[in-house]
Amino acid sequence: MAVEIILFGEKYMKRLLGAFAVATLMAAGSAMAADTAHEYGGNCAWGMTLGKEVHTDCKITWTDTTTHKNYCFANEENKKHFAQDTKGSIAKANTEWTKHSGHAATGHDSKRM
Q: Does the pLDDT at position 103 exceed 60? A: no
- The predicted pLDDT at position 2 comes to 53
CA distances, 83 to each of 14, 20, 26, 69 (Å): 53, 44, 35, 14
Considering the chain, what is the average pLDDT of its residues?
75
Question: pLDDT tens digits, residue range 18-28?
Answer: 554 444 444 44
Model confidence pLDDT, tens digit, residues 65-91: 999 999 999 999 999 999 999 999 999
> Residue 73: beta bridge partners?
60
